[in-house]
Amino acid sequence: MDRRRVVRVPASSANLGPGFDVLAAALSLRLEVEVVETGRFAIETDLDIARDRRNLCVRAFERLHPSTDFTFRIRSEIPLSGGLGSSAAAIVAGLTAADHLFELDADVFKLACEVEGHPDNVAAALYGGVVICADGEVTRIDPPTGLEGLLVVPHEAVRTAAARAALPAEVPMGDAVHNVAHVALLTLGLARGDWELVGRGLDDRLHQPHRAHLYPKSAELVRDARSLGALGATISGAGPTVLVWSHYEQTAAVAEALRARAAGWARVFRVPFETQGADVVALG
């Protein structure tokens, strides 16, 4: 009785421009879940989330062990909508807690992908850094020193289902080639710490143009990011949050410009890229 684990999991931004359903990066906003063996099931949280077994964290936990005797205390800095991987973080937290409590040595990544339905946010949440998801496996690189992120989080959300429905079933060969080239530029730029390549590599033709009508102010900000002093910007996941990429020397000035642009419709956060993925601490 009274076994306790605290799991902390980062937010994540998927796609990173041209890397649709392939690339993602962890960001230093965190979900914290404390799981305590109290002899009863309960969820304690101030968040607007399910407080029964529909809760994503609990559903994930129950993939490995019944939750009957456990209380889940859930706190989060991650916005619940907007494309910042809040669901992936909850799933990874639940699975990690159960795996650690019962020493199961489970394949947390595989199980998390099954619950979430796609690997990109899950991989970044679990492993941290920048991840490349291909062939059911994850390749991870550390974000280069000096790279910083700013998030512009609109007050109005966009439904993920609407964002998915906006995508065409087929794309022109030229757009596919464009994205292959820019994923190559972006990953090489991140590996080298080459800011020019990173900035060039952020351009996308597969998903952002098709969804721009769902979040016109976010789309406009992506187009204008370079003129504000940033390396560039991407729509985070299905949107409408914008991830603005910056070199640390320009970040303060970019943040000021973004706050002026976002006044009245969005919040701006200075959020570093995160190298640390999910971590767990035993308290009992």
Which residue ranges make up the annotated binding site for ATP?
A: 79-89
CA distance 23 to 12: 10
Q: Which residue positions form the known binding site?
A: 79-89
Q: Give the span between the Cα atoms of 100 and 159, in whole angstroms.
A: 33
**What is the residue whose two structure tokens read 């339905």?**
117
Location of structure tokens 């965190």: 30
Task: Render the burial of 99-138: b for 16+ CB within 10 Å, e for the rest.
Answer: bbbeeeebebbebbbebbeebbbbbbbbbbbbbbbeeeeb
Are 5 and 64 in contact by the 8 Å Cβ rule? The answer is: no
Q: Give the span between the Cα atoms of 23 and 13, in whole angstroms.
A: 9
Smallest Cα–Cα separation from 35: which of 73, 8, 61?
Answer: 73
Residue 69 CA to chain centroid, in angstroms?
A: 30
